[in-house]
Amino acid sequence: MNLDDWARCVDPEILLDFVGSRLSDRKLRLFGCACFRRVWDHLASPDVKRIVELAESYADGLETRERLRETLKRAIELEARLPQQIGKVRELVVEEANWAAREGSKEAVAERSVRAMFPPDIWREERRAQCEILRDLVGDPFAEPIDFSRWRSDRTVGIARQAYDEYRFDALPILADALADEDCDHQFVLAHCRSGQQHFRGCWVVDGLLGNE
């Protein structure tokens, strides 16, 4: 695979096979959560959304395993009522942090996330969207690591933190301007912030500024 293949691929399984072993458990879990964030308005129950939100918090070390176990128990109780959705979301709250990376990422995350909720034509579109999610989380897998520390300031970190914590990723064009004010001339970084694409927790630029892995 080369950069052009990476940018054009519409099969998340191929991309996960390529980068999955190099991604942190946190990134993989957030990718699974982002798949559900894509279809947020189609999730039938607030309980389903709560499970996803808790899985995001657990990925960032903000929830305990005990709380995760409680939510898993609740998910199992709900599964009889919402089998298609709960059965998939429940995979996000299994105890093992490496649930995706070590147990077959393409099956545990992309293939089994939202497939059951939609007919084939919409599912094909979701697969393409999942590729965009991965590109948002990974960036350029062929590039050397970027030193974001040189562009960190109260303003850039503040914008990135608000975007992450409040899911306000519509502020990324403003972040691009703030980065430029800090003498950031990295065109790939600036273009990503200004692209207008949908961003998710785990976005590689936001993570870089916040020091997340």
- Determine the pLDDT at residue 92: 55
What's the predicted TM-score (pTM) here?
Answer: 0.81
**Which among 20, 5, 38, 27 is positioned nearest to 127, based on CA atoms?**
38
107 and 189 both lie in a single domain: no
23 and 71 both lie in a single domain: yes
What is the average per-residue pLDDT within 29-51? 79
36 and 116 both lie in a single domain: yes
Domain boundary (108, 138, 168) is at 138
Tell me, yes or no, whether 143 lies in a domain: no
131 and 172 both lie in a single domain: no
**Which among 8, 41, 9, 207 is positioned nearest to 106, based on CA atoms?**
9
- Determine the pLDDT at residue 118: 58
Distance CA 102, CA 21 (A): 8
Taking residue 190's Cβ as centre, other Cβ atoms within 10 Å add up to: 18
The pLDDT tens digits of the residues spanning 73-121 come to: 776 666 555 555 555 555 555 444 344 444 434 444 444 555 555 566 6
**Residues 141/167, Cβ–Cβ less than 8 Å:** no
